[in-house]
Amino acid sequence: MISRRNFFTIFLMMMILLFMFQFSMVIKENGNEYDTNEYFREKLATATDAWVLKKGNSETDYSDGEYTLFIGEQDCAVQSTVEQWCLYTKNNLVLKTSFASLTILNGHLPKLILVDGKSVDVPAGIQFLTDALNQGITVIFCSLPEPSVIAENQELMKLLGIEEIRENTTKIEGVRLFSGFLLGGEIVYKAGTPEDEEKLQDFDLSIPWYITGKGSKTYMVGLKDEDEVEREDFPRLIWRSSMQNGMVFAMEGDFCESLTGLGLLSACVYESSDYTIYPIVNAQTTVLADYPSLSQENEAEMERIYDRSAEAVMRDIMWPGILSMATRNDLTLTCYLQTKYDYDDPAQPTTDELKFYLQQLKESGGEAGKSFDYTGTTTLQEKIIADNDFYSKAHYGYKFGSAYVGQIDDELKEALGRREASNIHSITCEDRGDLPLLSYYTDNTTLLGVTDFAEQYSYTTDLRIRSLATALGYSNIMINMNKVVWPKSKDDHWQNYFDEIFSNMSTYFSKHQYFEQTSMSTSDARTRALLNTDYSIRREGNTIYLHVDNVTDDTYYLLRTHGQDINRTIGAWYEEIEEGVYCLQITYSDVQIDLTQSEDIFTYDGPF
């Protein structure tokens, strides 16, 4: 038996522990300023000061400045990629549909020539390209003509650095990307099992078999059976050859028809120079669309699948898994709160749910945004007004700076002009239509496009991630929770969907955290800095002088060198991302970068 004295001692200890626990929770709740958004900014740069891409059809328009020349079909996917790349790197653009009447004029030299080999008569431009190369201009083939066209013209083969066309089409087992071209180092895209082959391998494995000659450098090859083919004879996919005073880069495939082309173009320019500097975003975001839902929508389906209410499913099942994934992978989450998705459903949002998630996001370092996604008998303007009324009545005062939208249309632009949406500084969406990945959607609102979906990962996804990191230092991974709340198949059930996104985020996407993990509002501010900046550079010996216009605290640049290290910087902070790759935070308009001496800038490091 327990004596009265021991019983009293145990009772007293339990009461003290209970008091301490309850008191700590009170302190925690009172100290959690969940009604404030620490990432929200009142004053931001606007489209008024944005750098404007000049593009035209005459090189004489740029007698007082430099420009990039694109020769290819107008209004095609390759041209779209080229225009985006020129916008972000601050290169004015001249567009030509053919080589006819093209001449190199003194005083009007392009600094770069980009050719869409699939859409123009390349043999007709051999003399023009040769003259350009003689004057030290770099030529990049964003795509190549058909192998039969190349085989019929020895001058074109020489121009491209092709020694032999072994087959017009050959089957490869995978793809190898060599180190030093894109960020992330060397990687082999070859499935080890039939399951991986089905899930991950989405490269085109039927390609022309080009073998390049001496003096060329290969960046990407197709893989063949090494028992049958020597490595030196593997089919080339991306390579460089030198001719006269210039360099020719060739890309076999459709890489430049998508966002992947952005980084490939930046990498080619880097390989043609002793260094490169250009603006980047330095922001990698993870967003949850339509989560949490603050209404008890689709309640019957939630009860059927999970034997719980919709509120309990999102609180007790989904949120712990999401938080665990974010903690494990050091993610900064942006959750786009959905007050009500189906406006034919009688369920209404509750302030208790809003308070809970605002507290949770505050404690985990995340940010809340608004979802403008909806269905049913309503309009976007009516939804925005209803949402604003709900948040106002909640009296929490949280300022939402970002919104997720279902589609880009005229209704959205009109709705963003309303007073109820005045705090929305950025929008993100899955389908941008014809709009660039990063742009001003209105004078005060930016569009930050989605780059990846957490449930979808493949080899081409990996290449795109590396490419966008190289070109922009940007990624925007979306977790679409709408499909979980409104499931169409068992794949959309949380346990299946979460298994897929957790595996991908922890195994694949986590390997590509080259830049800072940020909230969407921070990504917005840094995107504005990218869109508004302009720069000029010069080099004297081992010192680079960089002049930057419109410097803010969010202005970042990427410096890539061939084996040289930074000794000192003036006017910028820097962090080494990987060997020879530096992220610069610009603090003053005039920046000085002192580099170490490099004995051989273009040391050949490829296997071919």
423: nearest Cα among 442, 449, 439, 444: 444
| Gap between the Cα atoms of 340 and 290, Å rounded | 9
C-alpha separations of 74 from 79, 80, 266, 402, 455 in Å: 7, 9, 22, 34, 34
Contact, 183 vs 581, CB < 8 A?
yes
Confidence of residue 140 (pLDDT cuts 50, 70, 90): very high
pLDDT recorded at residue 599: 53
Distance between CA atoms of 254 and 267, rounded to whole angstroms? 16
Residues 443/558/270/112 CA torsion (nearest 10 deg): 20
Question: At the topology level of CATH, where does 286-526 sit?
Answer: TIM Barrel (3.20.20)
pLDDT of residue 3: 65
Sheet of 283-289, strand order: 438-440, 446-448, 426-428, 402-404, 367-371, 333-337, 283-289, 474-480, 452-453
Q: Which band of pLDDT confidence, cut at 50, 70 and 90, is reported for residue 12?
A: low
Any bridge partners for residue 499, and if so which? none
Half-sphere exposure of 431 (CA within 13 A, CB side): 6
Beta-carbon count within 10 A of 11 CB: 10
Size of the chain, expressed as the number of residues it contains: 608
What is the arithmetic mean of pLDDT over 281-293? 96
- Mapping DSSP onto H, E and C, the string for 21-55 reads HHHHHHHHHHHCCCCCCCCCCCCCCCHHHCCCCCE
Decide: 458 and 201 in contact? Cβ < 8 Å. yes
Bridge partner residues of 93 (DSSP) = 55, 68
Do 100 and 121 form a contact (C-beta atoms < 8 A)?
A: no
Task: Please tell me which residue, 17 or 580, carries the higher pLDDT value.
Answer: 580
Using DSSP's 3-state secondary structure scheme, residue 65 falls into coil
Q: How confident is the model at residue 406 (pLDDT cuts 50, 70, 90)?
A: confident
Q: Is the pLDDT of residue 18 over 80?
A: no
Give mean pLDDT, residues 293-312: 92
> Which uninterrupted H or E stretch holds 424?
none
Q: Residue 214's pLDDT is what?
A: 87
Torsion of CA 459, 464, 469, 473, to 10 degrees: -140
Instruction: Report the distance separating Cα 79 and Cα 170, nearest Å.
Output: 28
> Which residues, 6 or more positions from 430, have their beta carbon under 8 angstroms from its beta carbon?
450, 453, 478, 480
Judged against a pLDDT cut of 90, whether residue 266 lies above it is answered with yes
Residue 22 has pLDDT above 70, yes or no: no
For residues 568 and 570, what is the distance between their CA atoms, to the nearest angstrom?
A: 7
Confidence of residue 63 (pLDDT cuts 50, 70, 90): low
Spell out the residues 6+ positions from residue 477 whose beta carbon is closer than 8 angstroms to its own: 284, 285, 286, 287, 450, 451, 452, 453, 454, 505, 509
Q: Give pLDDT, residue 396.
A: 83
With a CB cutoff of 8 Å and minimum separation 6, the contacts of 138 are 111, 112, 113, 246, 247, 248, 249, 268, 269, 272
For 454-509, the pLDDT digits (tens) are 999 999 999 999 999 999 999 999 999 999 999 999 999 999 999 999 999 999 99
- Please report, rounded to a whole number, the percentage of residues in the chain having pLDDT higher than 90: 78
Per-residue pLDDT band for 17 (boundaries 50, 70, 90) equals low
Pick the CATH number of 50-272 from 3.40.50.300, 3.30.70.890, 3.40.50.720, 3.40.50.880: 3.40.50.880
Pairing verdict, β 112-116 and 138-143: parallel
- The dihedral region occupied by 184, where left means phi > 0, alpha psi between -120 and 50, and beta the remainder, is left
Token digits of residue 264: 């490939």
Over residues 543-548, mean pLDDT: 97
pLDDT of residue 143 exceeding 90: yes
110-119 confidence digits (pLDDT tens): 999 999 999 9
Quick check: 21 pLDDT over 80?
Answer: no
Please give the mean pLDDT across all residues of the chain.
90
Q: Whole-angstrom Cα distance, residue 304 to residue 142?
A: 52
* 287, containing H or E segment: strand 283-289
Q: What is the dihedral of CA 572, 575, 578, 582, to 10 degrees?
A: -10
Strand, coil or helix: 576: strand
User: Cβ atoms within 10 A of the Cβ of 407, count?
Assistant: 14
Residue 60: the pLDDT is 63
- Reported confidence tier of residue 28, pLDDT bands at 50, 70, 90: very low
Say what the pLDDT of residue 62 is. 63
**Sequence ranges of the domains in the chain:** 50-272, 286-526, 533-595
Q: Is residue 171 predicted with pLDDT exceeding 60?
A: yes
Copy the structure tokens of residue 215: 């003096």
State pTM to two decimals: 0.91
